[in-house]
Structure 1
Amino acid sequence: MTRPEINRSGEMEVFVCVVERGGFSAAARARRMTPSAVSKLVSRLEARLGARLVNRSTRAFQLTPEGCAFYERAARILADIEDAERSAGSGEQPVGRIRLTANASYATHILAPILPEFLDRYPGVTLDLIQTDRVMDLLAERTDVAVRAGPLKSSSLVARKLGDTAMLVVGAPAYLARFGEPKTVDELDRHNRLGFGYVRTVDGWPMRKDGEIIVVPTVGRVQASDGEALRRLALGGAGLARLASFTVRDDIAAGRLRPVLEHLNPGDREAFHAIHIGQGGPLPSRVRALLDFLAERGKVL
């Protein structure tokens, strides 16, 4: 007896749609199918694979670990198929939507000035830019590329370094005139030290003291969720902030901010990387184009 032909790419498309739409009903509307047909197709897929992909309940839709792994591979395969078809018909000109996340400082000072050039260079590409300092799960958030600051944890993600930047403690001239400019680490106790409202790899300000490097806690009256908010607070005279030099370079040149305690700066630098899912396999041309562009024009100094 002849076995029925299996439309694997069609099954993948429906399953990926279920994941990205967040459920069977939403996927059914997008695919112009009935919810029961979508559910049965996923059930057949699970039976053929011999693995449960989705935990079903009336209140929640949740992927199993096997479902997450299958979604990641299926989405990549479908993207490769789409990319191959588009490349064949468009001379390999990148097309499609890219979902990009970056912290507020990088988005404001690096991305905003250069993205118009990228869009002009690749008119078939559209961008979803999510500005957040939160470390996002690229797979769960369906993100193509994330720009992250700081040391990287070992993972299945692939990273391309975009440079690194010096860190500076800065304050507004009006704030320093009112509260005085600190000359020693101990004098920081008299100052409002603006900090982040979430745990970071180094939760404080590294400073030199008595030949050693210590970490000064950011005990202040204001905390913020991103570096750009801290910069604006410092500009407004709310306190001192320790920020990436590329974010305050223009402010220092214009006299809006002034570096302090530079003789006690340990000289540490914060690295920036462009991250994407995969282990060196083929990338959609649109994603590869963005990574190459960031390596060319998105360097942090």
Structure 2
Amino acid sequence: MLRDKADRAGDMVVFVAVAEAGSLSGAARRLGLTPSAVSRVVARIEARLGVQLLVRTTRTLRLTAEGETYGRAARRILADLDETETALSDRGCPRGRVRVSAATAHGRLVIVPLLGAFVARHPGIVVEIDLSDEIADVLGGRADIGIRFGPLADSPLTARRLGETGRTVVAAPAYLARAGTPRRPADLADHNCLDFTFRRSEPGWPFREAERDVILPVRGTIAANNGETLVQLALGGVGITRVGTFHVADDLAAGRLVPLLEPFNPQDREAIHAVFVGGPAMPARVRVLVDFLAERMRGG
């Protein structure tokens, strides 16, 4: 019984060759075997299954319905085996192409600056980076890795936490010199607050005041659907905005923007995940890139 199981993959290879060649002799030539050896393998499979897989005459060979079913299953199993062995064998030197989908701003500011170091470490891998605020269909094969913010929807995809980001209220020194600096969240009523256009479950900006969380409605003259636009407006002295910290880290460090109302920051954090098709056949090239991003983005 153990020997029979060990021979099954080889039997499948022979049967698939027969089905594709359309003859025992054609399969024999392809595999470097004799036609009689190929015939014995087919007979062994039929005996084990107790069904006829091929109908043979002196001139033709065709698969029975059971033969078609077995052939489809054999192709699928052999393809899975090849993929698994490829994934395992390239772990020492991963190579191939990896497609990454990321949000425009986060990709440009966080992901792209890391890629040079990654390909230097793994010269056999080619990275394709697609920056878009549309969510790519990873399960459907549109990307190998997708970068996602916030809670994840139920999915058969595997998720790996890369880090998290907070949000910060900021303004340019020029704006504050002209309009004054808000000292408490309520002071924002007298300021031009630049907000996102997309709807939230609780419209407004969250703050923590007197040991309780409050959502403060804000008003402004311009709204945008992305953080980069809001940061550009803030840098231009147009008003105050609240965006992901990764958007403004460099500007805060350089003094081009100033953090506001930090004693009232609720420290709400948004998780960042990489999602991908996992499992034992996961290509090493995908695994090492996910590992690299988790290593470099941890604590972001």
TM bucket (normalised to shorter chain) is 0.5 to 0.7
CA distance in 1, matches of 2:201, 2:280: 30
**Secondary structure at the counterpart of residue 193 of structure 2:** coil
Partner of 1:247: 247
Cα deviation code 1:246-282 (max 9, x no counterpart): 332321222100011112111212221111134x443
Partner of 1:256: 256
Residues 201 and 225 of structure 1: is their aligned pair in 2 closer, same or farther, counting only changes over 3 Å? Answer: same
Kept in 1: contact 2:188–2:218 (CA 8 A): no
- Give the CA RMSD over aligned residues: 3.1
Q: Percent identity?
A: 41
Partner of 1:225: 225
Residues 149 and 91 of structure 1: is their aligned pair in 2 closer, same or farther, counting only changes over 3 Å? Answer: closer
Matches within 5 A, 1:4-153: 5=19, 81=82, 84-85=85-86, 88=89, 92-140=92-140, 142-153=142-153
Aligned residues: 232
Say yes or no: does 1:283 pair with 2:282.
yes
Partner of 1:293: 292
Kept in 1: contact 2:231–2:248 (CA 8 A): yes
CA distance in 2, matches of 1:249, 1:292: 24
CA distance in 2, matches of 1:79, 1:97: 19
Partner of 2:170: 170
Cα deviation code 1:185-221 (max 9, x no counterpart): 2221222222223345665421124542122345433
Residues 162 and 192 of structure 1: is their aligned pair in 2 closer, same or farther, counting only changes over 3 Å? Answer: same
Q: Calculate the TM-score normalised by the size of structure 2.
A: 0.66
Residues 212 and 220 of structure 1: is their aligned pair in 2 closer, same or farther, counting only changes over 3 Å? Answer: same
Residues 85 and 214 of structure 1: is their aligned pair in 2 closer, same or farther, counting only changes over 3 Å? Answer: same
Partner of 1:64: none
Residues 284 and 269 of structure 1: is their aligned pair in 2 closer, same or farther, counting only changes over 3 Å? Answer: same
Residues 273 and 96 of structure 1: is their aligned pair in 2 closer, same or farther, counting only changes over 3 Å? Answer: same
Matches within 5 A, 1:186-205: 186-200=186-200, 203-205=203-205
Report how far residue 78 of structure 1 moved. 6.2
Residues 240 and 232 of structure 1: is their aligned pair in 2 closer, same or farther, counting only changes over 3 Å? Answer: same
Partner of 1:158: 158
Kept in 1: contact 2:98–2:127 (CA 8 A): yes
Kept in 1: contact 2:139–2:276 (CA 8 A): no
Question: Which one-letter code corresponds to 2:97 in the other structure?
Answer: R
**Secondary structure at the counterpart of residue 147 of structure 2:** strand
Residues 209 and 297 of structure 1: is their aligned pair in 2 closer, same or farther, counting only changes over 3 Å? Answer: closer
Cα deviation code 1:85-128 (max 9, x no counterpart): 4875x674222221111223322332222211111122222222
**Secondary structure at the counterpart of residue 228 of structure 2:** helix
Cα deviation code 1:127-157 (max 9, x no counterpart): 2212223333323461111112222233222
Residues 91 and 258 of structure 1: is their aligned pair in 2 closer, same or farther, counting only changes over 3 Å? Answer: closer
Report how far residue 226 of structure 1 moved. 2.5
Question: Which one-letter code corresponds to 2:212 in the other structure?
Answer: E
Bigger drift between 199-208 and 126-135 goes to 199-208
Residues 217 and 287 of structure 1: is their aligned pair in 2 closer, same or farther, counting only changes over 3 Å? Answer: farther
Residues 245 and 78 of structure 1: is their aligned pair in 2 closer, same or farther, counting only changes over 3 Å? Answer: farther
Kept in 2: contact 1:83–1:285 (CA 8 A): no
CA distance in 2, matches of 1:204, 1:142: 35
Kept in 1: contact 2:83–2:281 (CA 8 A): no
CA distance in 2, matches of 1:117, 1:235: 30
Bigger drift between 178-187 and 133-142 goes to 133-142
Gapped regions of structure 2 (runs ≥ 5): 1-14, 22-67, 70-75
Gapped regions of structure 1 (runs ≥ 5): 8-47, 50-73
Partner of 1:208: 208
Kept in 1: contact 2:136–2:142 (CA 8 A): no
Question: Which one-letter code corresponds to 2:290 in the other structure?
Answer: L
Structure with the greater alpha carbon radius of gyration = 2
CA distance in 2, matches of 1:269, 1:287: 27
